[in-house]
Amino acid sequence: YPAAFRRYTPDCTTSALQNCSRQEIVNAYDNTIAYTDHVLAGIIDVLKAREDRYQTAFLYVSDHGESTGEHGLYLHGAPYLLAPSQQTHVPMVAWLSDGFSQAMGDGRACLARQRDAELSHDNLFPTMLGLLNIRTSVRAASLDISNDCRQPRLAQQEPADMAAIR
């Protein structure tokens, strides 16, 4: 993270974690989260600036969590079945422009109702396909968290790009 995001100090600035206190490691991790939040907000700002021309959506999921000393573990290399929740529970963030949300029939409210659902990386690909209205045999509708959010007319209409090709 850039120096401007060094909000929590003292922080660990070396890859030799054994030379850092647990609090320094936690502070460094919190600084990375602050920077990630900044980057994600910047992406959303770019999408908002184009709302007048495009219906946009943004879906983010972290690739892994991080242990910062819980149960004596650090980093994220434990096998999934043995890993603590700090490594396996990761954030998933969805942002929809007004136009995209309306085209789904209030997609924001529909997705918000699933806020507490237990999701996994298995949901990412089917949801991206669903949000893009891409119909394919490899899309598992049961894993698409947007599947119940689409109005029937949107789910049935052909994507605009495909219509232009024909």
Q: Distance of CA 77 to CAs 33, 81, 83, 119, Å?
A: 19, 11, 8, 21
pLDDT of residue 139: 87
H/E element, 75: strand 74-75
- Tell me, what DSSP letter sits at residue 140? -
pLDDT of residue 112: 93
pTM: 0.76
CA distance 133 to 77: 35
Tens of pLDDT, residue by residue, the chain (166 residues): 999 999 999 999 999 989 999 999 999 999 999 999 999 999 999 999 999 999 999 999 988 778 787 777 777 877 777 777 787 778 889 999 999 999 988 899 999 998 898 888 899 999 999 999 898 988 899 999 999 887 654 444 445 444 444 4
CB 31 within 8 A of CB 1: yes
